[in-house]
Structure 1
Amino acid sequence: MRGYNMLALALALAMCLQGFAQRAHCLETCPKESLLFQLAREHGQYESVVVGRRRGELFDFTSRQSGAGAGPGNATYDRFIVTFETYKFGDEHRLALEKHLPSRPSWKWEDRKNDASKYTTDFGVVRLLAGTDRESLIRKIEGLSGVKGVFEDKDVRSLHRLGPTVNDEGSAGYRKAIATHLGEKIDYKRQYHNPGREWKKKQPNALYQPEIIWREGFKGQGIRVGVFDTGLKENPKYLKNVKYRSNWTFQPTKGVDGHNHGTSSAGSIASINPECPSQAPEVDLYTFKVFTDDAVSYSSWYLDAINFAFIMKVHMINVSIGGPDFKDFPFIEKFRQLVANGVSIFCAMGNFGPLKGSINSPSDEPYIIAVGSHNEYFAISDYQSRGMTLSQKPYGYGLVKPDIVSYADKVFALNQWEDCFLIQGTSTACPVAVASMALIASTIPEEERYRKVTPASIKQFLIEGADRLDYFSMYHQGPGALNLLKSYEVAKNYEPRVSVLPSSIDLSSEKEVGYYWPHSVQPIYAKGMPLMVNFTIINGLGTTGYFTDAPRWNPSNRLGNKVRFQFDYANVIWPWQGYLGVYMHVEDSASHSTGIAEGAITFNISSPPFPGEKRGTKREQRVSIPIKLRVIPTPPRSKRVLWDDFHNLQYPDAYVPKDASQETHTYDFQGDHPHTNYHNLYDELVGNGYYVEVLSSSMTCFDASEYGMLVIVDPEMEFDVEEIDKLYDDVVNGGLGLLVLGEWYDKYIEDKYTLFNPNYRMTMHPAIMGANVPALNRLLSNFEVAFSNFSFDATLELSDTKGLLVQDGTSIAKMPPKSVLFEGTVVPKGRAKNRRERMNRASYSVPILGMTKVGEGNIVIYADSSAFDEDISDGEEFEQIRGVFTDFVRYASEGVTPSWIDVGTYHEDAYAFDFDNFTGQSRGAGFNALSKSEVYRYMIPEENENLSREKLKLLSKPLQCFRNAPLKYQPDRSDLVRKRNNSLMSWMEWARKRLIMGTGGNSNGQDSSPISSFSPQGSEIAQEGTQRPTQGDKVGDTWEPREGGPGLSGGQVFVFFVVVLAAVGYLYSRKRYQDLRAGLSPRYGGGDKSV
């Protein structure tokens, strides 16, 4: 054994010596002043932390970082971005690919002739030519040394500005919507924040009063602002300091704006036109034309422009784009690198409002400053997209967004004809916020800017100076409305620090009910799903920060001791910002308790020193988040409703078509969550005394005896056999109610929804059509319930005041004995030129609503979810269906028969739709021309439909109970962090115990690593900086190794760690050697170190 030990030690020392020799050689021969070194010297502590990423498996639902952003499709125009681990000149990257790839013409390197082409880059664009085996070639490229990933060169989202004429948010309809949301009649104008003085409407400067700061000699001078947009008018008369205009599109122009969007964005930052002045008239403007005059852009244009922004050393960037694709990895990663280098990025929230859960990417990223809009009454603009962010679903909860809202609702701005005109949109709000922060940044002495003008400090200025708006949720307004003068006071006294958004949670105050919606409208209680909140950590101490101890719950009263907390977080906070996911459970022993649980979450954040500080000096801050929770006794079973969110699938995890043809967008991307597009049902049920909880783990993770009913809405995912068996037992023997809202499914018209997506430059086929009706039928087969392939529009009158409207829904094909069925009057969709023509045709009836009792449980089946979807139904339809969903819930949960039950038809025997006799006049004129074979296409989907290997890979999730499940269902929760937990053991200590004690696995055979960022999934969490639970134990848990298992001797453990340390030293030195060769050296003499 001694001989083996000595051999291993000698090998380790040799590896170390080789690595250090290579580094020493490069230190003599490699360029010392790389691009990023120059930027670091200019900006201070802004080093690019380049984190490599290995492309994950397709559609891995345990991590946001993996999977493609679109469903499977056949490429028709293959142009891809190849990202590299190091910066080199384009020709060097091309030669490296040519050396290892098959000889062309299977692929072609595309030269990009723009202002960045003479500098080093970390990506290239290749085109895969016709006839190429695309998947094989991509795998070869991904497997090459030095390649980080291969991604589609996408069409970059859309501009976020509306036209000058949009419905006034002060209209009666908007007032009524606000009143409905609050549940009372209110005076529209009096409900909003009053600035306390008279000010000229439609002029942001009149509200913000920048002249007070101007009188001190500051007007934005010395601050470099980049505008990524459609370019800029040539020789603008009313823009004072245009330092550089660049063009990244294929249009033969030097960044000239032929669209007007770019000019108005620049004007909203720095205009000196007296009719539409801006707050920072003396900033240095750098315009990047990344959109053509037709508003077309591609990821590669943006990536080149971002690399060039490094060279221009800008402090801030205005980005007026967005889209629902939060998996555009190269695009998002490049923004992350830009922020890591100290550039503050402001991005428009999007104009999908007032729909909740409609925030666009990249504004949903924690390190981006997302900007929303308010109007002159200090109400959130109707068109503004709302949070929460959805990329964390279903395992966690979304972040609070926007980060600020500014006045940009029908305001005057500069146009390309040098006039002022009225505009609105979140892409107008964005440059208004940029102008405010550029003005404030100019007041900070230049020698202090390296630590006081950072992406973290700028966001802190905005948040700490904001005015909170009455009645609007934090997921709609963020911290509130921008207040320039208050933010200026914050900046004058600013020292780098750590802050959190939201800074506290108070669910006990009636005054805060609106702000903390949806968490505030119902209390928490024992034996329920946890309350989930996701905090954004803003680290002003440095680019990189670390949790030096685990977050702890520190109760301050008796009831606080009855609440148990779990945490998800990445141990490394980068760049400048991170997250803290919190799961709050009330202990079973408090099932009869009532009152306010109080306490605080505390943790320590530390960062390396800023440049100029003594090396080794560690800056550390204790952070405290006050928490107040309203606790009540566990409600009776009949009043508890469980909403299944686990089986929903949304874009961009896959291409899922919209649920109704009249929707304005193509993809189903709002999450089908009770806090987003079904918030109206959430508010209705809570208002009627029900308690709504969300199931974010599989159906095996809840106790059916605690709930009156389960709601399944428009599911796209597959159901596991265990889930099917458990649900049947829960309903038949356990008395659980079941409410299912189906959706259209017609595999015969799949070609109609096959489309060419310019984002991915490929033909996309739907992952599923509307809802996964075959999976639903498998789930319901034990109940003798089935949906058909039908897809149609229909109406059902239940009473004089209540009715239902089916919009592209399905029909009920089977129901068990003793069922009541309700037939809707329908016309097949797509068989007439327009909706009016379809509705005027002779029609027929099919069942769309069924109600029955199976065993001990009541079941409600409805053929369409669109009627209750806020995104689809209009106000008139909402008035008609008001209360119908509550009627469904009362019947399923409590057995209360609705007053309109007589409208239906009772069936003593089992019901099956008679497709064989679906002929003649009974089926209506719309179907008279169909043959019997054509009619059969509307029958029940085949039993094994969508069960192919490819479909199951896409439509299945792990059958597991995550942190979002009740404590008793989580695997091995004896080590739960609660109250005052000890600090996490180090990685080395964990490894030592694991080697000595054996596998260290938990009872389920899963990895029990205490630090998830050391696993492949966890490392992606550390990169991403958003709440992303993974399988197994996580950061925030204590860990004890399992007893038993083979042990190792002390000598073996010693040799193991010597080899590990030597390998790490060799790899580190090798990496330093490669980075220095490529011109990626970090800053010498201090600052954060590259990760």
Structure 2
Amino acid sequence: MNVSTIICVINAISGLILFQCIPACSASDKDTFKTTVVPNEFIVQFHFKYFSTVRESYIQTKLLSSNITGWRILPRNNLASQYPSDFDILRILDGKKSSIEHIVKTVTSHPSVKAVVSQRSVQRTLAWNFNATLAYKSRRTLGIVRKEDVKHSRRVSSVLHANVLWNLGITGKGVKVAIFDTGLTKNHPHFRNVKERTNWTNEKSLDDRVSHGTFVAGVIASSKECLGLAPDAELYIFKVFTNSQVSYTSWFLDAFNYAIHRKVNILNLSIGGPDFMDSPFVEKVLELSANNVIMVSSAGNDGPLYGTLNNPGDQSDVIGVGGIQFDDKIAKFSSRGMTTWELPLGYGRLGLDIVTYGSQVEGSDVRTGCRRLSGTSVSSPVVAGVAALLISGAFHRIELINPASLKQVIIEGAEKLPTYNMFEQGQGKLSLLKTLSRFTLGAPWQS
């Protein structure tokens, strides 16, 4: 009988833990991305943020004064409509190349318009593997509870010794963490501090039907069963992918603007793609950093080839995270440096900042219980969770914490892995305790 079809109940004679095993698509969740230009759809970028009536008047004034028809501004049915924004989405109804070029040129000539660029879509594919792992639901039963075997644990909070900080009262309290992914089920039992769930897609449901977003949130802040790193962190859930794993540049831009408005401290983006030519996306990431938002992003699952880093994890203002196994070997799937932006006119940068556990890591399942997943999309929330712990323990020095300073202490606290070069491991393996010691040395931090 195939093991993935078995429902098993193992009742330990000693009465310690009851495991109910259920099949899980979890031996590997290697994400692949396909980005495409949306035909006849453009993002009109403005130099400043304006309310919708002002933005539309700028576009209309230019086009109507030139007697240009066959276009419309697409409505945005999300929270962005309530706030000023620095872009609009323009759809050109006439598919002729000459007409499109003429409209783009006309709109671009407005002094308030920064640029007009193509809208892009991304299709993410999670290549689930059914061949090896069982998710489980667990409950404690009466009897003596054994201490967890940290050496063989797949729970990153245990392996990184987060309990040392918990015992000091450092649990992520007060830190705002934004999670950009597939959403989260309402009232999920693992989370005790979900401040807000927002939907930036064209779907009605805020719930996670894919389980990826739930898992990522669990690694950061689960407070039950499969414990996360910062259980008291304030979670802001941004659903930016549909259940069919589709997203658009404009959805991200709206969500990024709202994250800035909510003044989040950390933004985890367990996604990425090979397309760094999406200039509105790249520029908005820079704006996030300028607004003191610490972004953590996965390096990508396109290893072991070199030069396979994904964006935005390869941006210098982002903490780009690769994956390792629990035996400290670099995961085969983990993308390697260097960056390819500069080629062929110059040398690429290192790009990869740090590596941490990303193979068969334990995290929250979509409704309850736990499961295991692999991928750098798992490694990213590990670093985000560590960042939340560090910030919550240093609110008395919050004025010194910014994307650059936090990135510095995290990479300086990393442990070099033998036999691996810098393009494979960045600055080394994440170490929570060593980073904590660096964090408490004094300020400002110096290399």
Instruction: Flag whether TM exceeds 0.5 (same fold).
Output: yes
CA contact (8 A) 2:38 2:119 kept: no
Give the 3 Å change call, closer, same or farther, for CA 146–202 of structure 1 in structure 2.
same
249, 266, 270: which one aligns with 2:217: 266
Secondary structure class of the residue paired with 2:116: strand
Q: What is the CA-CA distance between 1:259 and the residue it aligns to? A: 1.2
Pairing 1:706-717 to 2, within 5 Å after superposition = none
The answer as to 2:193 corresponding to 1:241 is: yes
CA contact (8 A) 1:164 1:423 kept: no
Q: What is the CA-CA distance between 1:445 and the residue it aligns to? A: 2.6
Secondary structure class of the residue paired with 1:206: helix
Distance 2:156 2:38 in 1: 47
CA contact (8 A) 1:163 1:424 kept: no
Give the 3 Å change call, closer, same or farther, for CA 409–166 of structure 1 in structure 2.
farther
Match of 2:332 in 1: 382
Secondary structure class of the residue paired with 2:218: helix
196, 202, 227: which one aligns with 1:277: 227
CA contact (8 A) 1:364 1:389 kept: yes
Secondary structure class of the residue paired with 1:116: helix
Unaligned runs of 5+ in 2: 1-34, 134-148
Distance 2:389 2:131 in 1: 30
Pairing 1:1061-1080 to 2, within 5 Å after superposition = none
Match of 2:26 in 1: none
CA contact (8 A) 2:356 2:382 kept: yes
Distance 1:76 1:115 in 2: 23
Q: What is the CA-CA distance between 1:151 and the residue it aligns to? A: 1.1
Pairing 1:531-546 to 2, within 5 Å after superposition = none
Distance 1:380 1:134 in 2: 47
Q: What is the CA-CA distance between 1:492 and the residue it aligns to? A: 1.1
Larger relative strand fraction:
2
Give the 3 Å change call, closer, same or farther, for CA 490–247 of structure 1 in structure 2.
same
235, 239, 248: which one aligns with 1:289: 239
Pairing 1:736-775 to 2, within 5 Å after superposition = none
- Deviation per CA, 1:301-341: give whole Å up to 9, x if none: 00000000011110000001111111110000001100111
Secondary structure class of the residue paired with 2:287: helix
Match of 1:666 in 2: none
Match of 1:430 in 2: 380
Secondary structure class of the residue paired with 1:336: helix
Match of 1:320 in 2: 270
Pairing 1:448-467 to 2, within 5 Å after superposition = 448-451=397-400, 453-467=401-415
Q: In structure 2, what residue type is equivalent to 1:111? A: P
CA contact (8 A) 2:269 2:298 kept: yes
Q: In structure 2, what residue type is equivalent to 1:115? A: L
Secondary structure class of the residue paired with 2:180: strand
Secondary structure class of the residue paired with 1:137: helix
Unaligned runs of 5+ in 1: 1-69, 169-196, 500-1091
Match of 2:121 in 1: 155
Match of 1:559 in 2: none
Match of 1:363 in 2: 313
Q: In structure 2, what residue type is equivalent to 1:211? A: N
Distance 2:120 2:95 in 1: 21
TM-score where L is the length of structure 2? 0.84
CA contact (8 A) 2:58 2:110 kept: no
Q: In structure 2, what residue type is equivalent to 1:150? A: V
Give the 3 Å change call, closer, same or farther, for CA 335–166 of structure 1 in structure 2.
farther
Distance 2:430 2:83 in 1: 38
Match of 1:493 in 2: 441
Q: In structure 1, what residue type is equivalent to 2:101? A: E
39, 42, 46: which one aligns with 1:84: 46
Distance 1:316 1:198 in 2: 28
Give the 3 Å change call, closer, same or farther, for CA 76–116 of structure 1 in structure 2.
closer
The answer as to 2:65 corresponding to 1:114 is: no
Q: What is the CA-CA distance between 1:364 and the residue it aligns to? A: 1.2
Distance 2:235 2:83 in 1: 21
The answer as to 2:424 corresponding to 1:476 is: yes
The answer as to 2:183 corresponding to 1:217 is: no
Secondary structure class of the residue paired with 2:91: strand
The answer as to 2:57 corresponding to 1:95 is: yes
Give the 3 Å change call, closer, same or farther, for CA 76–233 of structure 1 in structure 2.
closer
- Deviation per CA, 1:547-570: give whole Å up to 9, x if none: xxxxxxxxxxxxxxxxxxxxxxxx
Distance 1:158 1:226 in 2: 20
Match of 1:335 in 2: 285
Secondary structure class of the residue paired with 1:330: helix
Match of 2:29 in 1: none
- Deviation per CA, 1:1033-1076: give whole Å up to 9, x if none: xxxxxxxxxxxxxxxxxxxxxxxxxxxxxxxxxxxxxxxxxxxx
Q: What is the CA-CA distance between 1:494 and the residue it aligns to? A: 3.7
The answer as to 2:139 corresponding to 1:139 is: no
Q: What is the CA-CA distance between 1:288 and the residue it aligns to? A: 0.5
Distance 2:388 2:165 in 1: 12
Pairing 1:340-359 to 2, within 5 Å after superposition = 340-359=290-309
Pairing 1:119-130 to 2, within 5 Å after superposition = 119-130=83-94
- Deviation per CA, 1:350-380: give whole Å up to 9, x if none: 1111111111111111111101110011011
Match of 2:7 in 1: none
Q: What is the CA-CA distance between 1:154 and the residue it aligns to? A: 0.6
Q: In structure 2, what residue type is equivalent to 1:272? A: S
Q: What is the CA-CA distance between 1:241 and the residue it aligns to? A: 0.3
Secondary structure class of the residue paired with 1:81: strand
The alignment of Structure 1 onto Structure 2 pairs a total of residues equal to 394
Higher RCO (CA 8 Å, separation ≥ 6 residues): 2
CA contact (8 A) 1:164 1:422 kept: no
Distance 2:215 2:415 in 1: 26
Distance 2:121 2:311 in 1: 14
Q: What is the CA-CA distance between 1:497 and the residue it aligns to? A: 4.1
Give the 3 Å change call, closer, same or farther, for CA 374–165 of structure 1 in structure 2.
farther
Pairing 1:680-759 to 2, within 5 Å after superposition = none
Distance 1:237 1:163 in 2: 25
Distance 1:429 1:76 in 2: 31
Give the 3 Å change call, closer, same or farther, for CA 115–429 of structure 1 in structure 2.
same
Distance 1:131 1:278 in 2: 50
CA contact (8 A) 1:310 1:338 kept: yes
Divergent runs of 4+, >4 A: 164-168
Distance 1:213 1:476 in 2: 29
CA contact (8 A) 2:358 2:378 kept: yes
- Deviation per CA, 1:794-816: give whole Å up to 9, x if none: xxxxxxxxxxxxxxxxxxxxxxx
Q: In structure 2, what residue type is equivalent to 1:341? A: N
Q: In structure 2, what residue type is equivalent to 1:80? A: F
CA contact (8 A) 2:123 2:245 kept: no
- Deviation per CA, 1:516-553: give whole Å up to 9, x if none: xxxxxxxxxxxxxxxxxxxxxxxxxxxxxxxxxxxxxx
125, 147, 152: which one aligns with 1:200: 152
Distance 2:270 2:286 in 1: 17
Secondary structure class of the residue paired with 1:245: strand
CA contact (8 A) 1:157 1:322 kept: no
Distance 1:162 1:422 in 2: 14
Distance 1:388 1:166 in 2: 33
Q: In structure 2, what residue type is equivalent to 1:342? A: N
CA contact (8 A) 1:259 1:293 kept: yes
The answer as to 2:341 corresponding to 1:391 is: yes
Match of 1:768 in 2: none
Pairing 1:487-886 to 2, within 5 Å after superposition = 487-497=435-445, 499=447
Q: In structure 1, what residue type is equivalent to 2:238? A: F
CA contact (8 A) 1:162 1:424 kept: no
The answer as to 2:395 corresponding to 1:445 is: yes
Match of 2:208 in 1: 257
Give the 3 Å change call, closer, same or farther, for CA 357–142 of structure 1 in structure 2.
same
Q: What is the CA-CA distance between 1:387 and the residue it aligns to? A: 0.6
Secondary structure class of the residue paired with 1:292: coil
Q: What is the CA-CA distance between 1:105 and the residue it aligns to? A: 3.7
Distance 1:288 1:450 in 2: 26
What is the aligned-residue RMSD (CA, Å)?
2.0
Secondary structure class of the residue paired with 1:155: strand
Give the 3 Å change call, closer, same or farther, for CA 135–228 of structure 1 in structure 2.
same
CA contact (8 A) 2:38 2:118 kept: no
